[in-house]
Chain A
Amino acid sequence: MAKVELFVNGRAVTGEAEDRTLLVHFLRENLGLTGTHVGCDTSQCGACVVHVDGRAVKSCTMLAAQASGSTITTIEGLSPNGELHPLQVAFRENHALQCGFCTPGMIMTSVDMIRRHPNGLDEATVRDQLEGNICRCTGYHNIVKAVLDASDKMGKGAVKAA
């Protein structure tokens, strides 16, 4: 068994898990943070994306033991006081979710994307950067719109697509 010490959504947590336990299962089953989803078994879909030390990572492709000592932000950590994060607002306003299963991963990936593009985003970049996230409803159009909208409203300014 591995001792896992994490700083999750601003809270220090300690737990035990088998060495082979994936971070996503530790978050969901040990910590009850079920906003992070498991959508595939092959590291492709991105429904499990969380931030590990500030970077978007597929939590199904990292052991909890590997993450021990890290700072983690999950979808629950984006709105600690119940007030929606600008990306969550943008997803709601742009109807960027249909079944909603991929949404937590899409939003966590997009928060990281907007942070890495301080000069704004265009449509092609957003589509390229969402490569690691799959929406089985194929609702990409509105997801892209929402990310551009949020980037704009978060003061980054959207570079309009040509």
Chain B
Amino acid sequence: MYETQYHRAASVEEAARLMGEAEDGKFLAGGMTLIPTMKQRLASPSDLIDLRRIEALKGVTVDGRNVRIGAVTTHYDVSTSEELAKICPAITNLAGHIGDPQVRNMGTIGGSIANNDPAADYPSALLALDATIITSQRSLPASDFFIGLFETALEPNEIIVAVEFVGPDRAAYKKFPNPASLYAMAGVFVAKSGDNIRVAVTGAGEGGVFRLKDAETALAGNFSPSALDSLAVDPDVLLSDMHASADYRANLVKVMAKRAVAEITNRPM
């Protein structure tokens, strides 16, 4: 690891100020991507501004069906929130299957979505749940937040404070993890609230997380796994790498979408 200067912020304001003073700073939350990247010397920020101890960024709050998850809430804390499991078990289940137990003990929702790894799990949930990302400067919908591979709408000095969403009627997340890295080779989050159906895909898109509108249309007419039988996922917009070809990913997306709907409807595929 190259040299760096560590700073611990006590508040969002202090963190933003420290970042403003840094030459080439990075915000540090759980560090589950950033620290390994720095160890490999693939990143060399001059300063690290640690957000993990800022109390205002911690915790899950459920008020009726309104959910707020603080940015530095760990995957473990999301996965074990009983209140949240009553409103949206799909997201607690998602959080409980990110990486390994040690990653879940440190990794945070804010860190995950700020990094916007194309194979991260949370972006698909937030896009399908039509979540709002609250930052130190503004609120914006997930559809405007996620821009592309490892790219978000965040400005250099902008800090994620929380994510908010309304609990859906039903939702499910199914992923096909790479057996070695456990990153999703295709992960599909399906959320249904009344007639509003949203399907978001992670792990597979060439441009990161995306909505699968053909599946949403098919499910609007017939919310059952068989409605997706004739779904054609375009491999031209999917990643192709050593782990899976675009054609294989296209098939995985369809199968994961069907599995998610099968879970929601409790019907066989």
Contacts and interface: CB of A to CB of B under 8 A. Distances in A.
A75 to B, nearest CB: 15
Interface in B91-136: 99-103, 105-106
Contacts of A66: 6, 8, 28, 31, 50, 52
Most B CB within 10 A of own CB, among A22, A42, A55: A55
Interface in A8-40: 18-20, 22
Interface stretch (A56-64, A79-87, A136-144): A56-64
A41 B35 CA distance: 11
Given A55-B76, A131-B100, A2 B105 contact: no
A19 B39 contact: no
Contacts of A61: 31-32, 35-36, 39, 102, 106
Nearest to B50: A66
Interface in B1-39: 1-6, 8, 28, 31-32, 35-36, 38-39
A148 interface: no
A57 B102 contact: yes
Interface residues of B, number: 28
Given A112-B101, A132-B102, A19 B3 contact: yes
B96 to A, nearest CB: 10
A57 B35 CA distance: 13
A43 interface: yes
A20 B4 contact: yes
A65 B182 contact: no
A109 interface: yes
B101 A19 contact: no
A113 interface: yes
Contact of A113 (B5, B31, B101, B103): B101
A56 B101 contact: yes
Interface string A107-132: 00100110000000000000001011
B6 A62 contact: no
A51 to B, nearest CB: 9
Interface in B218-251: none
Given A41-B39, A43-B36, A49 B6 contact: no
B35 A131 contact: no
Interface of A: 2, 18-20, 22, 41-43, 46, 49, 55-58, 60-63, 65-66, 68-69, 109, 112-113, 129, 131-132
22 contacts: A19-B4, A19-B48, A20-B2, A20-B6, A42-B39, A43-B35, A46-B100, A56-B101, A56-B105, A60-B39, A61-B32, A61-B36, A62-B35, A63-B31, A66-B6, A66-B31, A69-B53, A112-B105, A129-B101, A131-B99, A131-B100, A132-B99
Interface of B: 1-6, 8, 28, 31-32, 35-36, 38-40, 48, 50, 52-53, 76, 99-103, 105-106, 182
Given A20-B6, A61-B106, A65-B6, 14 more contacts: A41-B40, A42-B36, A43-B36, A56-B102, A56-B105, A57-B105, A57-B106, A61-B31, A61-B32, A65-B8, A66-B31, A109-B101, A131-B182, A132-B100
